[in-house]
Structure 1
Amino acid sequence: MSYKTIMAVLDDPASARQISDFASFLSERFSAHIVGVHAETLAAVPLIAPMEIPDPAAVQVLQEAAQRETSTVEKIFRDRIESQGVPSEWRSFVSANGYASGNVIENARAVDLIVASQGNPPQGGPDNHADLEAFLFESGRPMLLVPRTIKEPQPIRRVLIAWNGSREATRATFDALPFLKNAESVEIFCVDPPETSGQMPEMAGVELAATLSRHGVNVTLRTEHTSGIKASAAIENRLADSSVDLLVMGGYGHARWWEVLFGGVTRTLLDSMTALTLLSR
């Protein structure tokens, strides 16, 4: 298994530079084809009273601004990807739903990996992650999120798998297998594993470790009992202690993609990202 088709989500000019560089880096590593995608969202248009019809001047201004951003993003992508000789193509979409539109989702379902930026916190405007959640919950494809603090691609040497034995965590782990096989070290990290009818807490992750080892992964297993510390805090501490390059975890929740892992780890973990994070659902 490898990543042969990678979708680069180019949300705005700032993220376009970052994600184009990361996509190029991954393409070189996996000999992958890059699909650059930008979704132009139709903004709400002011209405003229009393007939409540769209203001033509406002419509034109909004359309021109969106088209300029699309052109800028495309130029950044082509300059940074094509100049490296990376096999690639450009796709842009216009819809009221942005990245949640059916056309974008349909394209996302045909790739091996989606790469997107963590982005910046909203400053009174819309939160772009509200759109990007659709990739995780509707595309069925793994998403690699790049923290806004990481400007340059770095080799992925150390990987942490946040493991709770769930379907989502299982999916994420095996979706990440190309990264795991190439990493210098991989740790399966279990936080307060529960006792189940078929497994004692001390056995959590043992079978997974054995399977990954058969794939040639250099894997270790660590279980931590937190005594009331939040799972998100335990994971953050482990990321810092081990200088992790990539966090792998399952995506949970029905309303928001950041409702993840163990049912109690929330958006806080992804808002404070220090490592690349691969999510699957």
Structure 2
Amino acid sequence: MGYKTILAVMDTAENARKLGEFTASLANTFSSHVIGLHMESFATVPLVAPMEMPDPATVQAVQEVAHEETMDVGLIFKQKITGENISSEWRSFVSSVGYSSNTAIQSARCADIVIARQTSSSALSDSRADLDNFLYEIGRPILLVPHVLEQPKPIKRVLVAWNGSREATRATFDALPFLLAADSVEIFSVGADDDDTQSGSLAGSEIASTLARHGINVTVTSQEKSHGVSAEKAIENRLSDNSIDLLVMGAYGHSRWWEMLFGGVTRTLLDKMTALTLLSR
């Protein structure tokens, strides 16, 4: 069991250089085929008086810069992936909506997993909104690489942020190849409530039993809600205290637009990533 088709989001030359190492490592681990994806966006050009028409020379210059970056990114991808004799292909498209385009989304939907770098922390960033929409629409697990990680390392310790939701369930099973290879997996829940089936203190015990039947070394930890400590803060502390290599969590427990406008666990953790993070919804 593994990720046999990986789609790597190569949005900029800088990200392509960094992401290439992680993509190659992942592909070598699972003997995967890698698809490199780059979307060259039409540039927005200010209108000029008196007829309020774009200046053709400006349009051409801006588009040439974008195309030059496309060529650079493609070369970086091919040098890294082909250089390690990894089965691969390069896909580059021009679109006015970037990774929100149907072409990009359909490419991702046919991959086992998508890998990308952490985006800008600016809530109004075009790239952030673009990746948000991409994640929301593709229906595939996405592995995000934080800026603080410079080189890939073995994934030995995994933390599963568990709240019993559909999204968390999907993420847990999407992460099975990583969980099977890890030395230890911790199911971590925050502020779980008592219900008719189990007590809050036992939250995550059933999913842990399921994972244990796969031969995974799994433990269960729960933390009560305390004043001033949010769920995302509790997860951050757990990541720091236990030197976690991979965080597994569901994305967007609320409406995506609510999270984009007002924040939430997904948004907060993506802004403060310290470990590889696998997200599903």
1:53 aligns with 2:53: yes
Q: Which moves more between the two structures, 263-272 or 90-99?
A: 263-272
Which one-letter code corresponds to 1:33 in the other structure?
H
Give ranges in structure 1 of 5+ residues lacking alignment: none
Q: Which moves more between the two structures, 23-32 or 39-48?
A: 39-48
Deviation, structure 1 residue 257: 9.8
Deviation, structure 1 residue 256: 5.3
Residue 73 of structure 1 aligns with which residue?
A: 73
Structure 1: distance between partners of 2:204 and 2:232: 18
Structure 2: distance between partners of 1:116 and 1:110: 16
Residue 6 of structure 1 aligns with which residue?
A: 6
Residue 160 of structure 2 aligns with which residue?
A: 161
Residue 177 of structure 1 aligns with which residue?
A: 176
Residue 36 of structure 1 aligns with which residue?
A: 36
Indicate the RMSD between aligned Cα atoms, in angstroms: 1.8
Which one-letter code corresponds to 2:21 in the other structure?
D
Deviation, structure 1 residue 255: 3.3
Residue 128 of structure 1 aligns to a residue whose secondary structure is helix
Residue 254 of structure 1 aligns with which residue?
A: 255
Give ranges in structure 2 of 5+ residues lacking alignment: none
Residue 223 of structure 1 aligns to a residue whose secondary structure is strand
TM-score by length of 1: 0.94
Residue 84 of structure 1 aligns with which residue?
A: 84
Deviations 1:207-256, CA, capped at 9 Å, x for gaps: 10000001111100001113121111110110011100000000014335
Residue 106 of structure 2 aligns with which residue?
A: 106
Structure 1: distance between partners of 2:243 and 2:185: 12
Residue 126 of structure 2 aligns to a residue whose secondary structure is coil
Residue 213 of structure 1 aligns with which residue?
A: 212
Q: Size of the alignment, in residue pairs?
A: 277
Q: Please tell me whether the aligned partners of residues 27 and 86 of structure 1 are also in contact (alpha carbons under 8 angstroms).
A: yes
Q: Please tell me whether the aligned partners of residues 251 and 257 of structure 1 are also in contact (alpha carbons under 8 angstroms).
A: no
**In structure 2, do the counterparts of structure 1 residues 8 and 266 end up closer, same or farther at CA, with 3 Å as the change threshold?**
closer
Residue 110 of structure 2 aligns to a residue whose secondary structure is coil
Q: Please tell me whether the aligned partners of residues 121 and 128 of structure 2 are also in contact (alpha carbons under 8 angstroms).
A: no
Structure 2: distance between partners of 1:55 and 1:49: 10
**In structure 2, do the counterparts of structure 1 residues 218 and 142 end up closer, same or farther at CA, with 3 Å as the change threshold?**
same
Residue 265 of structure 2 aligns to a residue whose secondary structure is coil
Which one-letter code corresponds to 2:198 in the other structure?
Q
Residue 26 of structure 2 aligns with which residue?
A: 26
Percent identical pairs in the alignment equals 55
Structure 2: distance between partners of 1:38 and 1:66: 11
1:227 aligns with 2:230: no
Which one-letter code corresponds to 1:31 in the other structure?
S
Deviation, structure 1 residue 52: 1.7
Q: Please tell me whether the aligned partners of residues 35 and 90 of structure 1 are also in contact (alpha carbons under 8 angstroms).
A: yes
Q: Please tell me whether the aligned partners of residues 169 and 249 of structure 1 are also in contact (alpha carbons under 8 angstroms).
A: yes
**In structure 2, do the counterparts of structure 1 residues 169 and 132 end up closer, same or farther at CA, with 3 Å as the change threshold?**
same
Structure 2: distance between partners of 1:203 and 1:130: 37
Deviations 1:75-120, CA, capped at 9 Å, x for gaps: 1111111111011100011111100001110111000000000034
Residue 202 of structure 1 aligns to a residue whose secondary structure is helix
Residue 242 of structure 2 aligns with which residue?
A: 242
TM-score by length of 2: 0.94
Residue 217 of structure 1 aligns to a residue whose secondary structure is coil
Structure 1: distance between partners of 2:274 and 2:153: 13
Q: Please tell me whether the aligned partners of residues 193 and 201 of structure 1 are also in contact (alpha carbons under 8 angstroms).
A: yes
Structure 1: distance between partners of 2:172 and 2:83: 33
